[in-house]
Chain A
Amino acid sequence: MAKHDTPLLDQLESGPWPSFVSDLKQEAEKRAKNEAGHELQIPVDVVDDLLGILELSFKHGKTHWKHGGIVGVFGYGGGVIGRYCDQPELFPGVAHFHTMRIAQPGAKFYTSDYLRQLTDIWDRRGSGITNMHGSTGDIIFIGTTTPQLEEIYYEISHNMNQDLGGSGSNLRTPADCIGQARCEYACYDTQDLCYNLTMEYQDELHRPAFPYKFKFKFDGCPNGCVAAIARSDMSFIGTWKDDIRIDDEAVKAYVGGEFAPNGGAHADGDWGAFDIQKEIIALCPTGCMKYEDGKLEIDNRECTRCMHCINAMPRALRIGKETGCSILCGAKAPILDGAQMGSLVVPFVEVNADDDYQAIKDVIEPLWDWWMEEGKNRERLGETMKRLGFNALLEATGIAPVPQHVQEPRSNPYIFWKEEEVEGGWTRDIDEFRKDHQR
């Protein structure tokens, strides 16, 4: 029997879609039965009370959660998002209902044993409700009481070698694609770089001193499986400098229908025979490919590494050998000015584990110094860049302007000359000038 009547929530179960309300009801029942025999450390009816308070919020058309509060375990300024309800007498199970962010394993690789440990801790010390994963990437534990925070932190850190993630004005939990662990397109080892920077910047992750949140994301290639270009203040996207490697025999095999294009991904529909002109050459966004007399050619200087041809014919085309990453800055989801994509700051940087990724850290640190000093409160890096101009960022980081910084000629050249940079300065000999120009 449900603890609270929830007619409004029940309606949400009536559509054709899976409903979180059904999930919550199922979890409430599971807790009541407690077949696993957990020694429950927070109220058994936490999920029932969550349903109850949500129903009340629907009825009143307003939230019953207070705003903000406690932020972490001792020494941490993030990782916990304090939530208290403003109707604790009616819903004692959710009087405290804090969220915890747990750092996800690199590329979200799990063993089933690890997942079981996570859910065991959370069934025992929390509500059992999780969000796998939050948009930053973290494992989100939704709902526990204040005394459990330190206990959970102790267990995940000591027994599972895991840490809390970032929240608030911190470096947020860095997120990466699966990279070289499984993917032949990976131009660098995303997991190693992600882990290295996570460890290097522990203070930034756990102790807030930024104007606002800051996200790192690592995509091994421009396919962008973690959408770094759209969703991180600083994105590291794998790329290469030299030529796409072409295996002529394999190209012929695609043309001859021996290999299915796109790894057979669209094999369920009848698209007719593979047509290299129509499906590859004509779709290359820079028009830098041609296929003539059974031979594929790429003008690599014009290629923008869009990945289309490689994705379509992976057995015939491979990324180049001279690999590294591009660094883009300033992407964010819509909060103030609307969504913004990252701007290219460093077209190519080596990703070198042997020197502890120094070339990358040399970009990160001056950029942070600039944003920490110039950024307004609650201003994302991309907003500071927009307000002060791309040129200000280049100056602060000591990065020289290059043509790749210009999106298109004349509309946003970003680059302004200063007097000391121009031979002869701004002044001119007026008599010389008058010789050719009348008043």
Chain B
Amino acid sequence: MEQAEAAEMVVEALRKKLKSKSKFYFNDLSKILGMKPRAAKKYVNKMVEDGVLEYWSSGSTSMYGIPGTGKQAAAEHED
């Protein structure tokens, strides 16, 4: 799969879910891509590097989201 295609798949899937959530586990991303975690990781790393995705963490777990999509408010259960 091309990187651009993978990025498009992920962004489209995440945007669809934006109303209900803005932060996603790595597992959610590998499911969207339909890949084993190790293969998905290469694409996901690149998406972060390219600014398509960004990390969020509580310190103990990590999540991914589209940059600037109200992640902090979600963490505090405001939405």
Contacts and interface: CB of A to CB of B under 8 A. Distances in A.
B45 A207 contact: yes
Contacts, number: 82
Contacts of A159: none
Contacts of B62: 71, 77-78, 168-170, 208
A312 to B, nearest CB: 40
Q: Is the interface of A mostly helix, strand, loop or mixed?
A: loop
B37 A69 contact: no
Contact of A67 (B26, B44, B45, B76): B76
Interface string A208-226: 1111110000000000000
B76 A71 contact: no
B26 A168 contact: no
Contact of A208 (B26, B38, B72, B76): B26
B57 A71 contact: yes
Interface residues of A, number: 29
Contacts of A67: 58, 75-76
A66 interface: yes
Nearest to B44: A209
B48 to A, nearest CB: 7
A68 to B, nearest CB: 4
Given A69-B72, A372-B37, A372-B38, A377 B55 contact: no
B59 interface: yes
B27 interface: yes
A164 interface: no
A378 B26 CA distance: 11
Contacts of A69: 56-57, 72, 75
- Nearest 5 interchain pairs by C-beta: A168-B62, A208-B62, A372-B37, A68-B58, A81-B59
Interface of B: 25-27, 36-38, 40-41, 44-45, 48-49, 55-62, 72, 75-76
